[in-house]
Amino acid sequence: MTDIKSMTLEELTDWFGERGQPAFRARQVFRWLYRGVSSFKEMSDLPKGLRQELEESCFITRPVVARKQCSSLDGTIKYLWQLGDGNCIETVLMHYKHGNTVCISSQVGCRMGCAFCASTIAGKVRDLTPAEMVDQVLFTQLDSGEPVSNIVLMGIGEPLDNFETVLQFLRLVNHPQGLNIGMRHISLSTCGLVEKIDKLAQCGLQLTLSVSLHAPDDETRSKIMPVNRSVGVEKLMEACRRYFQLTGRRISYEYAMIDGVNDADWQADLLADLLKGTPGHVNLIPLNQVEESPLKPSRRVAAFQKRLEGHGVTVTVRRKLGGDIDASCGQLRRKAMKGYRM
């Protein structure tokens, strides 16, 4: 069976061509898919025979809302979607002044093993498909009735560990007849897979790359992020510099503030040193406490910010949204996995 929503319009046109169908049929089907239909029967402007044929050879993905939580503090909505095979993933809709933003997942679980992150506790189950990534944006819009203008790939999973799928997803959401969301409205966050950062740089996309740095020294970073044990901070920063040189896009460095682990003044000084000569900015994230983890939120966020600013580094502190609904990704899925009643 063909996963029809994972195809670009161009691929769909070729696919139809091979079956003796004109290009406009592909455009019709593509349009229906992005209206959120889940069966070929609903595609009322297609001949009956073709609908039948498609029904027999293709499937249309459609996630089901397994859980939906709305924050009473700021209107953030968190979805737990159940996929076709029963696995669950999370998507968060946030309201910012610059537009509605969805934070989407790229894998079911994650194999990166970061010590502070809820998504990785039970490892990776599987990669998502391009259609399953598109669906998170599409059905969040349809269910909430709110148009989405920005996408961040900061949900469950490591996007660069599912590289080809993520690229296909970007082509699909970027397409004028797809979701029509511009690359400059998309951010991709990575724990720092160096080879993949180089590969992404070659694509020359205008998206924003966020690098989850979380520590400026190898000892600390390797302790909390196993990915650092094979390729250390220096090599990662070299890749970031190459990325900037090739794409001209400033990198945003994510830094979750953990009590007594990465929040000392000397670490702020070292971080400022690392960023010298690489235009970019630091986004400090107040740690979301994960039940299974002994790590605690830092009480030094403001002091750390000031110290960095003293070195001329541009720093923002991430506003906490959806604090009352487990909106930091991975937490809702964890609770559902453990059979919590929510």
Which range of residues in 35-43, 66-74, 267-275, 286-294 is near ligand SAH by CB under 6 A?
A: 286-294
Residue type, 214: H
Spatial separation of the C-alpha atoms in residues 56 and 266, rounded to whole Å: 63
Most distant pair of Cα atoms in the chain: their distance? 70
User: Any idea what DSSP says for residue 288?
Assistant: P
- Indicate whether 209 belongs to the interface with ligand SAH (CB under 6 A): no
212 forms part of the interface with ligand SAH (CB under 6 A): yes
212 phi, psi to nearest 5 deg: -80, 95
Q: Given the rule CB under 6 A, which of 25-33, 184-192, 193-201, 243-251 is the region that contacts ligand SAH?
A: 184-192
Member of 61, 136, 168, 189 binding ligand SAH (CB under 6 A): 189
Distance CA(108)–CA(133), nearest Å, equals: 11
Contact between 191 and ligand SAH by CB under 6 A: the answer reads yes
Residue 237 interacts with ligand SAH (CB under 6 A)? no
Quote the strand ranges of the chain, DSSP E. 2-3, 58-59, 64-70, 77-82, 88-96, 99-103, 107-109, 124-127, 150-153, 186-190, 208-212, 251-257, 280-286, 315-317
Active site residue 132: no
Instruction: Measure Cα distances from 72 to 67, 272, 286, 324, 325 in Å.
Output: 16, 37, 20, 8, 9
117-146 residues near ligand SAH, rule: CB under 6 A: 117
Pick from 80, 328, 333, 334 the residue near ligand SAH by CB under 6 A.
328
Rule CB under 6 A: say whether 287 interacts with ligand SAH: yes
Residue 158 contacts ligand SAH per CB under 6 A: yes
Active site residues: 90, 329
Q: What residues make contact with ligand SAH under the rule CB under 6 A? A: 114, 116-117, 154, 158, 189-191, 212, 254, 256, 285, 287-288, 290, 328
